[in-house]
Structure 1
Amino acid sequence: MVRKLLIRDLTLRDGQQSAFATRMSQKQIDRVLPYYKDAGFYAMEVWGGAVPDSVMRYLNENPWERLEKIKAIIGDASNLTALSRGRNLFGYNPYTDEIIDGFCRNAIQSGISVMRIFDALNDVDNIKSTIRYVKKYGGKADCAVCYTIDPHHSAVERIKAALHGHPLHKPIFTDEYFLNKALLMESLGADMITLKDMSGLIPPGRTAELIRLLKKNLKVPVDFHTHCTPGYGLASVLMAIVNGADIVDTNIWNFAGGPAAPAVELVYIFCRKMGIELDLNMEAVARINAELLEIRKELSAFDTAKKLPKHFDPLEDKIPAEINRFFNDAIEAARKDKEDDLLLYCHAIEEYFDFPEPNDLVKKAQIPGGMYTNMVAQLKQLGQSDLLEKAMSLIPQVRMDAGLPPLVTPTSQIIGAQAVSCALDEENGRPMYSNPSNQFIALVKGEYGKTPIPVDPAFRLKIAGVRDEMPYDGSSYVMQENLVLEESGVLLAENEKEILLLELFPTVARTFLTKQKMNK
């Protein structure tokens, strides 16, 4: 039997968010939708993440209308998917079940059929309610296990810790850790499991181990998601395919590589050589890509890569013999678990097609690219750029003190900002944690959920003023005030969708809705 691989296209959500600051307008999206209808992607990620906030904040567009317009064109040709942070939904704060219920119901009614649900702490309790409501309203729950790694400690640091009677922890993020999270999600009703590597930090060898483990032990399909930032992306996706992943996430050529996911066109070449069917209409994909080239030029002010890949259409363009051999050699290396060889061949392929080079700073730092750039920007704004190395060196300690949270949004930003604050403390002769942020206090307190290792009660007392963990309590939740606009005499939020926008994005939605009502 011929094996089939499903493709989730990320271009209109994660792709443009990673590479173009989520600035695609509705008019730009409308230009590619007719071709998407013919392309045959298993799924298209089009909503969630930063999209609802950004379309209001920067484009003065209604996020619900964006989703509904996409659904009107795509219909049932592809599953439309969204990204949700579990109890946090799209923001950084936990919400009550009432808000989660309304959000899931309206998202599914407006066109979402698969909701990808994750929690920044991999605390499965934080995604239970979203799973329940997504399935209640007829959607599929795609539950994501967030990939992360243990802090790197030098030999000197380990010796010092042992001599002072505080030996460093044993590795937490083992294969068993990720498998147990996936099994728990499956038991709660997950329709599929995604191994989600938002930072691109999973190397091909680890990808192979985890995909094999998940495929052996799960009954539901397994999806693999990664990015190309530090240079592992293409090789890890190939390794996931070779080891049995049912679905992989990709972008279309002109929105692929660099901080985004690998190109579907390269995956197509690999699969064609391995006899794996994609069921994609690559002529339609080429038409999308041609339009994306023009859109990318229009978005040049927000282009993080600043480097266009060579024009390439796998149906029409012949690959030079030596580059073609790299594809064959990469497949052979993946099948033999030869990680170093696989990376060499995949880097050579990407170099030939002019995709961005691996970001060695991110690779060396072993932290997400967005976390790194935010720390750089924070220190630059403070006129303390020379403290970057110190702040980076404090990340393992800050992370350990806070319960070793995975470095994914929002915890990556919370830890990064606090490491910068601690570096400033030391520079100015103050004790570390002299200025803990409100988000760091909430994380240590337990409001974001259970951390992978317990927070020391004495540290919690120091930071949050309480010794015992204090989980989020929704009983005191107060809805946002829905004012009557004096100029028009109408409510700021006139229906449930607008009320949800106001709850999830209070400041941005208030400005957006006011403009909308004033211009009626």
Structure 2
Amino acid sequence: MKQKLLIRDLTLRDGQQSAFATRMNQSQVDRVLPYYKDANFYAMEVWGGAVPDSVMRFLNENPWDRLEKIHHAVGGVSKLTALSRGRNLFGYAPYPDEIIDGFFKNAVASGLNIMRIFDALNDVDNVKSSVKYIKKYGGTADCAVCYTVDPKFNGDSAPDNRKRGLSRLFFKKKEAVKPMHEPVFTDEYFVNKAREMLALGADMITIKDMSGLIPPSRVARLIPLFKEQLNVPIDFHTHCTPGFGLGAVLTAIIHGVDIVDTVIWNFAGGPAAPAVELIYVFCSKLGIEMDVNMEAVASINKELQEIRKELDMYDPVKQFPKPFNPLTDSLPPEIDSEFDRAIEAAQRNDEAELLNACHAIESYFNFPAPDERIKNAEIPGGMYTNMVAQLKQFNSLDILPEAMKLIPSVRLDAGLPPLVTPTSQIVGVQAVASALNLKNGRPKYANPSNQFVSLVKGEYGKTPVPVDPEFRMEITGTREEVPYDTSAYVHQDNPVLEESGGVTLARDEKELLLLELFPAVAAGFLRDKRRKEWEANSGENYTAKTKQKEQKVQAGQPEEPKGFYVTCPMPGSILKVVVKKGDRVEKGDKVLVLEAMKMENDILTEFSGTIKRVCVKQGETVGEGAPLVEIV
């Protein structure tokens, strides 16, 4: 029987998220949907990840509308898929089952077919509820094993745990660069995780290489193991940033993978996944069937070229690939031979030859060259750019090398989590904070983020290696692991908005779910939506006086500067206000929680006194230096 390969298209979710910061708006999505109906992809990843957050935060659009409009346009031609973080769904805190149940009920009703479920710690217990509820409502559970690597340390980045007796496990003496003595992330580790997920009821398994760090030689070992030991379809997902992507996908195909993830030409390569057009050329040469209508793909790609121009301000690469349609364009003989060379090298597991051929192909078509920084650092590209952005905010970009050196030790101190959202952000933010601490003569962990504390405490789940009890005591105040208690979960407030006609902030179950999953962003989005509805129905508008007052607050110009002001340390969104007018506070008390750089930051007062005025509200976006509360 002729081998058949299924394609999951990532263009409308992971593709645009990786390449253009998830800024593709609904009108741009609508322009390509008629062609997608004819493209006949096995599946289209269109939702989840950063999409629900970003469409509210940056585009002022409803994420449920995004899913439903795509479902209406594409119908049942391709399965619609999304990505979620196990018990965390799209947030950072684990959610109770009632919210996970409600989320999947509404997601499937809105058109979702497959949920790719992963956990940032590869803690299988954390995917259990999501598997249960996606299947309960007739969806498919795609469980992802997150690929990661064991860290390497130089002499300056050794973790605090070396002093606590863990050096026997993780270090060899007298080496400038110290690999882990006993690797954790072995082939058996990944296969065993997949088997545990299969036992929970997984309908398919994905090898999820979120950083593009898996080399073809590792793919050549893992795919056969997964195929031999698991009786469900295997999907392979990777990125091109460090330069392994195209060769890794070709290797997965040659070793019998069932599904691969690709992106359409003008959104592909670089930080995204390989181009489907290149995979089509490989499959044609290999005699492998791909039930994709490449004429429809060419029509999508033509529209994507114009959309990419419209997204120019969010395009960090600004490097368009050379136009190519495999149905109509002939390859030059020297490039055609590179495809043959890559196939032959993959078949004999010659990784160096394979990568040379793939890089020659990508160079000819003007795809971005491998990013050596990401390859050498062995971290996700998004984590790297996040760290750069954070250091720019503190005018301390000069210490980036030191922050990068600290990543392995911070990661090991926290139990060696894989670097994927949210743990990549947690470790990256803490590495930056620790570098700043050391630069300023403070202890390495002088100001751990709320999420780092939760990770070390055990609230995110079981880490791949145990956290040292003494380190946990130092960071959290307890030596014992403390799992997250979902019975203590507090639902988000759904206040009545007197200024918008006395309606509640969230008006139905889907909007309530948005509040639960994205408290700060959804609150701002829904307030604005309710206000516009009120104005449209009543003909009323905010008074000029109210607008002037709001503008002054947003610009950081308090109306009556009589007291002391707690100001915003960095741009972000107000996640929670914990004080009210008339409350007494002491220096060091928490007054609100700011969401910035995808992290929750407690904002503490430097003054003692009485709260005279709270200048912001939940969901509001604030700039650096803006007044938050006034204290007298």
Q: Is the shorter-chain TM-score for this pair beyond 0.5, marking a shared fold?
A: yes
Partner of 1:153, secondary structure, is strand
1:247 maps to which of 246, 254, 259: 259
- Whether 1:81 and 2:81 are equivalent positions in the alignment is yes
TM-aligned CA distance change 1:383 to 1:155, over 3 Å: closer
- Whether 1:283 and 2:283 are equivalent positions in the alignment is no
CA deviation after TM superposition for structure 1 residue 383, in Å: 2.1
CA deviation after TM superposition for structure 1 residue 150, in Å: 0.4
CA–CA separation in structure 1 for the residues paired with 2:26 and 2:164 = 59
Of 333-342 and 503-512, deviating more is 503-512
Partner of 1:194, secondary structure, is strand
Q: Which amino acid aligns with 2:442?
A: R
CA deviation after TM superposition for structure 1 residue 471, in Å: 0.4
- Whether 1:482 and 2:494 are equivalent positions in the alignment is yes
Q: Which amino acid aligns with 1:144?
A: A
1:472-513 CA distances to partner (integer Å, 9 max, x unpaired)?
A: 101111111111221222211111001000111111111111
CA–CA separation in structure 2 for the residues paired with 1:440 and 1:74 = 41
Contact 2:20 2:315 in 1 (8 A): yes
Contact 1:141 1:189 in 2 (8 A): yes
TM-aligned CA distance change 1:290 to 1:259, over 3 Å: same
TM-aligned CA distance change 1:497 to 1:268, over 3 Å: same
CA deviation after TM superposition for structure 1 residue 168, in Å: 3.9
1:153 equivalent in structure 2: 153
1:400 equivalent in structure 2: 412
1:97 equivalent in structure 2: 97
Greater share of residues in helix:
1
CA–CA separation in structure 2 for the residues paired with 1:428 and 1:493 = 45
Contact 1:67 1:111 in 2 (8 A): yes
- Whether 1:261 and 2:273 are equivalent positions in the alignment is yes
- Whether 1:37 and 2:37 are equivalent positions in the alignment is yes
CA deviation after TM superposition for structure 1 residue 304, in Å: 2.1
CA–CA separation in structure 1 for the residues paired with 2:410 and 2:351 = 32
1:326 equivalent in structure 2: 338
Partner of 1:141, secondary structure, is strand
Partner of 1:47, secondary structure, is strand
Alignment of 1:10-409 (within 5 A): 10-154=10-154, 166-169=167-170, 170-409=182-421
Of 480-489 and 246-255, deviating more is 480-489
CA–CA separation in structure 1 for the residues paired with 2:69 and 2:391 = 41
TM-aligned CA distance change 1:382 to 1:364, over 3 Å: same
1:153-208 CA distances to partner (integer Å, 9 max, x unpaired)?
A: 358989x9999962243110000000000000011100000000111111111111
CA–CA separation in structure 2 for the residues paired with 1:262 and 1:277 = 18
CA–CA separation in structure 1 for the residues paired with 2:104 and 2:446 = 40
CA–CA separation in structure 2 for the residues paired with 1:382 and 1:252 = 37
Of 261-270 and 509-518, deviating more is 509-518
Contact 1:115 1:140 in 2 (8 A): yes
CA deviation after TM superposition for structure 1 residue 45, in Å: 0.2
Contact 1:309 1:353 in 2 (8 A): yes
Of 412-421 and 437-446, deviating more is 412-421
2:624 equivalent in structure 1: none
CA–CA separation in structure 2 for the residues paired with 1:388 and 1:506 = 31
- Larger RCO (CA under 8 A, 6+ residues apart): 1
Q: CA RMSD in A?
A: 1.5
Contact 1:161 1:168 in 2 (8 A): no
1:493 maps to which of 482, 488, 506: 506
CA–CA separation in structure 1 for the residues paired with 2:397 and 2:414 = 25
TM-aligned CA distance change 1:484 to 1:203, over 3 Å: same
TM-score, normalization by structure 1 = 0.98
Q: Which amino acid aligns with 1:503?
A: E
2:569 equivalent in structure 1: none
- Whether 1:458 and 2:470 are equivalent positions in the alignment is yes
Which of structure 1's runs of 4+ aligned residues deviate more than 6 A?
A: 155-158, 160-164
Of 477-486 and 40-49, deviating more is 477-486
CA–CA separation in structure 2 for the residues paired with 1:149 and 1:225 = 16
2:9 equivalent in structure 1: 9
Task: State the identity %.
Answer: 68
TM-score, normalization by structure 2 = 0.81
Partner of 1:451, secondary structure, is coil
Contact 2:345 2:354 in 1 (8 A): yes
Q: Which amino acid aligns with 1:500?
A: L
Report the number of matched residues.
519
1:113-139 CA distances to partner (integer Å, 9 max, x unpaired)?
A: 000000000000000000000000000
- Whether 1:507 and 2:520 are equivalent positions in the alignment is yes
TM-aligned CA distance change 1:506 to 1:329, over 3 Å: same
CA deviation after TM superposition for structure 1 residue 380, in Å: 2.3
TM-aligned CA distance change 1:53 to 1:155, over 3 Å: closer
CA deviation after TM superposition for structure 1 residue 420, in Å: 1.5
CA–CA separation in structure 1 for the residues paired with 2:386 and 2:484 = 27
CA–CA separation in structure 2 for the residues paired with 1:500 and 1:58 = 19
Q: Which amino acid aligns with 2:518?
A: F
Partner of 2:145, secondary structure, is strand
